[in-house]
Every structure is written in structure tokens, then in C-alpha cells.
Amino acid sequence: MDLKSGYPYWAVKNGLMHAFPALQADHRCDVAIVGGGITGALIADRLAADGFDVAVLEQRDIGWGSTAASTALLQYEIDTHLVDLARQYGEADAALAYRACAQAIDRLKEIASPWRDVEFARADSLYYASRRRDVAALKDEYEARRRHGLAVTLLDDARIREDYGFDAPAALLSTQAARVDPYRLTHRLLERLQRQGAGIFDRTCMVDLKTTARGVALQTNSGACVRAAHVVLAGGYANQHWVRQRVARNRSSYALITDPLPSDRLGFLQDTLLWETARPYLYTRSTADGRLLLGGEDDAVDIPARRDARVQKKARTLVKRLRRLFPGLDITPAFSWAGTFAETADGLPFFGTHPQWGPRVHFAMAYGGNGITYSVLGADLLSARLQRRRHPLWPLFSFERTR
């Protein structure tokens, strides 16, 4: 799949960080992971830590797909409100999902801690009502989150104006958010695994997958075969190719990044993720070197040529929308890009086995705005399943919820 357009910042900033080999000979392992983006890297890291011999296969260069285009807002908030999720699955399960996502932010800090250059940093999250009619729902969401132990503050229009300098009728403030360079984190995780003896192979495409009662066999484009007890398909949005069931729809999202700005111009945006109740929503975050990253303007375009043609116009629209909030903030895009993302009907991911493939083929579909957070949770869930342990998120994050 052609997953991105324009000049994704992480790819421009980091380039090709490390040369991993292509697979040229047959290989054996406990778990083969197909997909060398941030999802595959987090899963491989977790499984290796739990004693599994893993191998990672990536058809492009490592991290060069959707990971390079990710804006990497790390939030516990799911695109579906807690209140709405509770209507679908019950309040206990909905709260479980939200609390797990909050805990995943803490876990990401631990995962990223060995490397300062991955630019992990804690941040606040300010979620504001785009329109006055959104205030009632925002207040209901505030009450639901507080009821289940999530630390959040409800701000009125006067407080928003005084503390943040823009106009909105209400907002939810949380301290449980973060930011990271997802491309660099992917490389650091997989470089470490390679040093530990794991097989990390890029420019290696799986062209066929066969299962038996005892394992799986993956045929690659080079003619080499990987045999494993299990396979995890972590190929992002291309994963949908492997299931007949339609579990998500592909969409395009657009983003831009500025040159570094002085801290006095960034103001609170230096350490706060800002996003809104409108769908699709405008969002912004900063980087370690003081750049401002804007994203949003999502649409249903899933044709690369059409997506490519829209990048510059969408970037101009994003700038105009931010200027309406902050008329004094004059910004110019340094790089702009678009990327494909998948969206499930309920905003939740899919991890685990599918009836079509049996017990040895596991899917990692970390779809939605919480892809990196979901991947941390999915890695934990998949490790538990491979060790035949129960996991509390299985009923909610697996294909079982669609039956």
C-alpha cells in the first residue's frame, strides 16, 4: 500500500537510521512478526522480553510506512467517548479500556527511557468544545471519567481564556498525555533486538502464508521461508487484506510542521496537546526542538493520487483553523504530508486470532487515533495469549466483540 504523501517530518528528520538486512535464507523462530513499524516493534520487544525467539519482517525499510507519517499524540482518550463506549459495551468494560490506555502512557515512558533521542516527554492534554452545543456532552464525559478514577478537570470559558488565551465554551484538562518520535523509537527497539540476536529483516515481503496444526510457514519474495510456531500480522492497514471480514475503513489524515519557534511564541502549546470535540478534529503538539505540529482535516479519500493532490490545500486549511484560535500566532509550514489510517466503528482495536485463520495466526490492528497506545496494550494481550494466560482486555479488543 502507498501509505503516505508529501514529506513526513520523522522521515526527513531521521533519514534511514540503520541498515537491516533482507532475508536471503530460510529462518526459524517462535514468533514471526510481519510489519516493522511502531506496532511490530513494540510487540517484538514485549515478546522477546517474555522469552520468545522473534523475527520481524518488513516489506519496506523499517519504520518507513505509516510510522513515518504518524503525528504520535500519546493520549489515553479513545476517539469514542467513554460515555458512548459504555452504551455499547457497558460501563465496566468501557472504563477498563480507558484506564488501560492511561496506564499504557506510563508504560511507554518506561519503554522509551533507555533513549533520550526518541524525545519522549510528558504533556498535558486540553480537549475543548468546538461549539456550545458540545458542552453538555463534554460535562457528561467529565463526570464519567471522574467516576472511574481518571484525573481530569473541567474548565469553563473564563478559565480557558485566562489560562490558555483562546475562546472555547468548555474544555477537559488531563495531565496523562505524552509525545514521542515514533520512527526513532521503532529503530531503537529493533536495533536492540538485533543486537540480542533476533532476526530483523527489511525489504522482505511475505507473499504467502500457510498454517498447519504445528505452526506456520511464511513464503517471502526472495524465495526464503520462515517457519514459526505463531505469526503476528502487524502490517498496519494492509492487515485487512488477510481477513474477509471488513473491520475498518481507510481514511486519510493531513499534517504539517513548522520550523522551530521561540518558546514565548509557543506558550502553553510547548507542553500541551490541544484537540477538539469536532469530528474530524484539529489537533496540535510541539516537538523537542520547539516545532509546532498540526494535524487533522481527515477525509474518506483512499486513493493515493487524490490524497497527494490535497496535501498543500489541507495544510493551508489547518493553518487557517489554528489562526482562528490564536490570531497572533503566525506560523508557516516547513513540511506537510498526509497518511492513511484506518478507523473502526467503535474506535477500538483488534488484537488476536480470527476464526478464518485458526489459533496460530494473530492480528495486531491498532487502528484509530490511539495506535501507539493500543500497540502497547496489544503487545501485552498477545503475549498473554501466547502463554495461554487470560487477559482482561481480550473480550473488548479481540474479534469476539463483533460476534
Which three cell numbers mark 148?
Answer: 472511574
Contacts of 97 (CB under 8 A, 6+ apart): 78, 85, 348, 393, 396, 397
pLDDT value for 384: 98
* In the predicted structure, residue 111 carries a pLDDT above the cut 60: yes
Tens of pLDDT, residues 343-396: 999 999 999 999 999 999 999 999 988 999 999 999 999 999 999 999 999 999
Tens of pLDDT, residues 124-141: 999 999 999 999 999 999
* In the predicted structure, residue 319 carries a pLDDT above the cut 60: yes
- Give percent above pLDDT 90 in the chain: 86
Tens of pLDDT, residues 163-201: 999 999 999 999 999 999 999 999 999 999 999 999 999
Residues 19 and 39 in one domain: yes
| Rg for the chain, CA atoms, rounded | 21
Tens of pLDDT, residues 213-265: 999 999 999 999 999 999 999 998 888 889 988 899 988 999 999 999 999 99
CATH of the domain at 299: 3.30.70
* Separation CA 40–CA 38 (nearest Å): 6
pTM: 0.96
Contacts of 96 (CB under 8 A, 6+ apart): 392, 393, 396
Residues 377 and 303 in one domain: no
133 occurs within a structural domain: no
pLDDT value for 5: 62
Contacts of 7 (CB under 8 A, 6+ apart): 335, 336, 337
Choose the final residue of a domain: 343, 374, 391.
343
The neighbouring-strand residues paired with 274 are 126, 284
Residues 236 and 355 in one domain: yes
Give the range of the structural domain holding residue 59, as residue numbers without chain letter: 4-69+183-247+347-402
Residue type, 117: D
pLDDT band, very low/low/confident/very high, at 6 (cuts 50, 70, 90) = confident
Phi, psi of 13 (to 5 degrees): -65, -45
Residues 336 and 191 in one domain: no
Provide the b/e sequence for 186-223 (b: ≥16 CB within 10 Å).
bbbbbbbbbeeebbbbbbbbbeebeeeeebbbbebeee
Residues 243 and 317 in one domain: no
* Separation CA 109–CA 342 (nearest Å): 25
Sign of CA dihedral 341, 119, 49, 392: negative
Classify 342 as helix, strand or coil. strand
Residues 52 and 9 in one domain: yes
The structural domain count of the chain equals 2
Choose the final residue of a domain: 318, 343, 368.
343
Choose the final residue of a domain: 296, 314, 343.
343
178 occurs within a structural domain: no
Tens of pLDDT, residues 62-89: 999 889 999 999 999 999 999 999 999 9
